[in-house]
Structure 1
Amino acid sequence: MENETKLQIHEVPKWNQWLILSLQHLFAMFGATILVPVLTGLSPAIALISSGVGTIAYLIVTKGQIPAYLGSSFAFIMPVIAAMSIGGPEGVMIGTFTAGVIYGITALLIKTTGVKWLMNLLPPIVVGPVIMVIGLGLASTAIEMAMNFDEETGTYIDPMLHFSVALTTLFITIVASVYFKGFFNLIPILFGIVGGYTVAAWLGLVDFAEVAEAPWFRVPDFVTPFATFDPQWSWSIVAIMAPIAVVTIAEHIGDQMVLSKVAGKNFVKQPGLHRSILGDGIATIIASLVGGPPNTTYGENIGVLAITRVFSVFVIGGAGVLAILFGFIGKVEALIASIPGAVMGGVSILLFGIIASSGMRMLIDNQIDFGVKRNLIIASVILVTGIGGAFIQIGDTLEIAGMALATLFGIVLHAILPGKEHGQGNGKMFGSLHEQVRENNNDRAA
């Protein structure tokens, strides 16, 4: 049977299969997980380590019942870049820690009050446009990387050469995404980066000197509070990063619904949505303690589960261990650092566009009616304030800007404008969750 489960959640694979099965998950998450720190100026090695440790922590928090891998969150790219400009990597860690705390608070509220309040707070008319802002707000970053923009001089240096590399990378990524089958279809980012890197090296855009000099084993420069720096609280950074956790929680719920369907389990019921959200929060807090970006469950790895039908948490845990080991290999970090901006720019053109399109798809799937003025108003305000870079300055220490401000506006407008039912559309976004929650409640009543 094609859909027959090969390994159950608590089954341990044979030793000669375990490594290969875990490597598949490592490859699936690798391209996206290292892309986030490369774009934001954080360490790719630490991102790998924090994703591995965070995944293992997630498995522990969820009692080893949810086979999910956690990697760097794309939703936080803009906030992390903004936080870096204010407080450097140390400031980012303050914001990341706060985002993890928001996860924890949300998990506690869901445990005690249920999920209805969250559904009312984050309808598709709010979440969809905010996701679009995440992608479109990064469009200029992708193009500047693709065309080799020099921030010091404010000019493009040899833009056509670099853009040709970016377009080649983009083409390879698209071909891999559309035409490759099976597991290979799940790692188009990795194919794009490897292919683009090869072309860039052939054109002389890659310097291998640091790769050759790098040691095989190297301890990354961890950014640890009270060890490498003294934390300085910044309300501006908190205001930039913390609200995005609200949006990623909505994405997390979507991942849980898909994962439940793929695995044929009700993860909302057992071990519970509160545990999975808490697991995300713990993983993100761990990242904040070592210098990594916020973590989130990865759709790419859910795709691996769907294809392989191997749901063993031991395989997922093995991938986490491998990610940690890779983070301590100096040549891997040096190799990642040698990837030209044009290559990353080419991949980013597709990735950021897909993020924006995902927000649009959410609106379409939920049949949001833009003939209703309130929906048109909410989406318009979110898009323009988020992409335009609007900000509100409160005193000397607090600034709410960009995506955080757009999210806040969307939540407030949905709360005060009449006709809230129009913001939910057909309810498809949380429809499956409603059914799982009702099933859970019925079991409790019985």
Structure 2
Amino acid sequence: MNLGLRWKLYGDGSAPPPGEVVRPQERLSWGRTTGLGAQHVVAMFGATFVFPIIMGLDPNLAIMMSGVATIMFLLIVQGRVPSYLGTSASFVAASVAISPEGGNPALLTGAILVAGLALALSGIAIHLLGPKAVMAAFPPAVTGAVVMLIGFNLAPVVADNYWPFDQWTGLLTMAFVVLATVLLRGFLGRITILLGLVFGFVLSWVFDLVLGAAPLPESEGGGAAPRVDLSAVGDAAWIGLPDFHAPAFEGSAVLVALPAVIALIAENAGHVKAVQEMTGDDLDPYMGRAIFADGLATSVASSVGGSPTTTYAENIGVMAATRVYSTAAYYVAAIVAILFGLCPKFGELVAATPAGVLGGITVVLYGMIGLLGAKIWVENRVDFGNPIVLVPLAAGLIAGIGGVSLTITEGFSLEGIALGTIIILVGYHLLYRLAPPSMRPTPAPDGDGAGTGESDAGAGIVLGSGADTVTGEYSETEAGGGADTGKEDRQGGAAGT
């Protein structure tokens, strides 16, 4: 059985000359491959540990399980789809509803585990039915609306949970991320979240020295506390296991988490298309495998208390810049991530991230998640003049974002993202079936399928960490050589995630 674990040495093992690429089943010398693997770790790093903190999960465990998930993914796709699986942002909104302020992590990971299984089953169905099944079930109008629901439902989290702790640190961190997104190019432009975290950490430390402790909001009892508290870092061991926990299950929690599956299907499909465009390989037969692998990896990670996973556009950006698509580098990155996860001292350092810094970063990230929904609509030319599109999406968005609740029984109700998604999905498909053929929306022409070059690309959205917009169009000039494609690098930096 071919698991993609054999790599042919590319030339003499040195970097490819302009116009040439290193294919997934080739590799450079092991020294250069190790360096590339470390670069992939840096690219995924910021978002992979930021989102577990936001969801109230262990960042050390998330880093470690991202390495395990990446190895699982590469084995399942037989080394044909080079990608790194980091923490998914698609479940952040669900975490706010299921486990506010990290109060019930077991219930959250249980819901994520079930959603991961649903994603894996979707991957099997897509493998059997073909990639066009993605568009049939989740057309761009529906996918864009669900992604928008996921993002904009998070606005109160920033306003209530992070920003009040240290508004000036939050504002300056936000400004740094926004400016870095535009001013930094190439690889630095893809890790602006990580750079923003470092900037905010240093800024908070300086504020503690100059201004003293920060006042706590009234919701926390008032008083004051240092912005940066590293006492737990000094007490932590250098080597040890992260904190595992078993998942718990509840039907209402699962319903809140399931809408993220729609975003993840579209996200994975978009990533496969992006890699296909860059490598020239026909990866459609592996799309179902990739989605199945992500779902299985999410289920495995959450079964021990880890974070949900997804393929990362930041790492696709690294491949575009280096023109090295070797899966050997991803195995190196996965092993490095596992080793990081076995260092409790590192985990405590991550957990010490000041709340004001998280406020500055999340105000950008959450908004970008929501706007990615609008991006799907624009790139697929969704027609809002058509009532089949307009009416169910309008109703679902207001019900979901506005917090409308539908009580089913005394102990069970539908609200927020779950209710909004049901209204959008059921309403759209029901109206589509009832309407005369002349009213039914038609897909965008080939070449306008969300930057993937095909109209059946599963809406072409790639969330990665939830804030990137890689669509497979990269500037070869910025990549350090190679044929000029004449296309602007549209990866959207800040998001850097």
Q: Which TM-score tier does this pair reach, normalised by the shorter chain?
A: 0.7 to 0.9
Contact 1:165 1:342 in 2 (8 A): yes
Q: Which residue of 1 aligns with 2:295?
A: 281
Structure 2 distance, partners of 1:202, 1:355, is: 31
Structure 1 distance, partners of 2:176, 2:416, is: 32
Structure 1 distance, partners of 2:413, 2:141, is: 25
Q: Secondary structure at the match of 2:27?
A: coil
The alpha-carbon deviation at position 186 of structure 1 amounts to 0.8
Which amino acid counterpart does residue 216 of structure 1 have in structure 2? W
Q: Which residue of 2 aligns with 1:380?
A: 394
Q: Which residue of 2 aligns with 1:70?
A: 85
Structure 1 distance, partners of 2:332, 2:410, is: 47
The alpha-carbon deviation at position 423 of structure 1 amounts to 6.6
Contact 2:201 2:357 in 1 (8 A): yes
Which segment is superposed worse, 378-387 or 186-195?
Answer: 378-387
1:143 equivalent in alignment to 2:162: no
1:296 equivalent in alignment to 2:310: yes
| Cα gap change, 1:2 to 1:346, in 2 (>3 Å) | farther
Q: How does 1:9-408 map to 2 (within 5 A)?
A: 9-85=24-100, 88-148=104-164, 162-204=166-208, 205-224=227-246, 231=248, 233-269=249-285, 272-395=286-409, 398-408=412-422
The alpha-carbon deviation at position 120 of structure 1 amounts to 2.0
Which segment is superposed worse, 419-428 or 336-345?
Answer: 419-428
Which amino acid counterpart does residue 85 of structure 2 have in structure 1? L
Give the structure-2-normalised TM-score.
Answer: 0.79
1:415-435 C-alpha deviation (Å, 9 max, x unpaired): 121266327455744774567
Q: Secondary structure at the match of 1:381?
A: helix
Structure 2 distance, partners of 1:136, 1:17, is: 42
Contact 2:135 2:456 in 1 (8 A): no
| Cα gap change, 1:429 to 1:102, in 2 (>3 Å) | farther
The alpha-carbon deviation at position 146 of structure 1 amounts to 4.3
Contact 2:23 2:279 in 1 (8 A): no
| Cα gap change, 1:34 to 1:288, in 2 (>3 Å) | same
Identify the structure with the greater helix proportion.
1
The alpha-carbon deviation at position 277 of structure 1 amounts to 0.9
| Cα gap change, 1:434 to 1:3, in 2 (>3 Å) | farther
Which amino acid counterpart does residue 33 of structure 1 have in structure 2? T
Identity of aligned residues (%): 33
Contact 2:297 2:309 in 1 (8 A): yes
Q: Which residue of 2 aligns with 1:444?
A: none
Which amino acid counterpart does residue 197 of structure 1 have in structure 2? F
Structure 2 distance, partners of 1:426, 1:349, is: 35
Q: Secondary structure at the match of 2:104?
A: helix
The alpha-carbon deviation at position 41 of structure 1 amounts to 0.6
Q: Secondary structure at the match of 2:19?
A: coil
Q: Which residue of 2 aligns with 1:421?
A: 440
Structure 2 distance, partners of 1:385, 1:351, is: 22
Which segment is superposed worse, 422-431 or 131-140?
Answer: 422-431
1:70-90 C-alpha deviation (Å, 9 max, x unpaired): 111111101123222598222
Which amino acid counterpart does residue 422 of structure 1 have in structure 2? P
The alpha-carbon deviation at position 396 of structure 1 amounts to 5.0
Contact 2:246 2:304 in 1 (8 A): yes
1:78-135 C-alpha deviation (Å, 9 max, x unpaired): 1123222598222122212211211221122223323434312211111112211221
1:216-242 C-alpha deviation (Å, 9 max, x unpaired): 1121111135xxxxx4x3111111112
Q: Once superposed, what is the RMSD of the aligned Cα atoms?
A: 2.3
The alpha-carbon deviation at position 313 of structure 1 amounts to 0.5
Which amino acid counterpart does residue 296 of structure 2 have in structure 1? I
Q: Secondary structure at the match of 1:64?
A: coil
Contact 2:110 2:303 in 1 (8 A): no
1:46-82 C-alpha deviation (Å, 9 max, x unpaired): 1111111001100011011111111111111011232
Contact 1:33 1:48 in 2 (8 A): yes
Structure 1 distance, partners of 2:456, 2:194, is: 37
| Cα gap change, 1:435 to 1:100, in 2 (>3 Å) | closer
Contact 2:269 2:457 in 1 (8 A): no
Which segment is superposed worse, 290-299 or 421-430?
Answer: 421-430
Contact 2:449 2:457 in 1 (8 A): no
| Cα gap change, 1:137 to 1:39, in 2 (>3 Å) | same
Q: Secondary structure at the match of 2:240?
A: coil
Q: Which residue of 2 aligns with 1:228?
A: none
Q: Which residue of 1 aligns with 2:13?
A: none
Q: Secondary structure at the match of 1:75?
A: coil
Q: Secondary structure at the match of 1:42?
A: coil
Contact 1:268 1:436 in 2 (8 A): no
Gaps of 5+ in 1: 150-161, 226-230, 438-446
| Cα gap change, 1:322 to 1:192, in 2 (>3 Å) | same
Q: Secondary structure at the match of 1:346?
A: helix
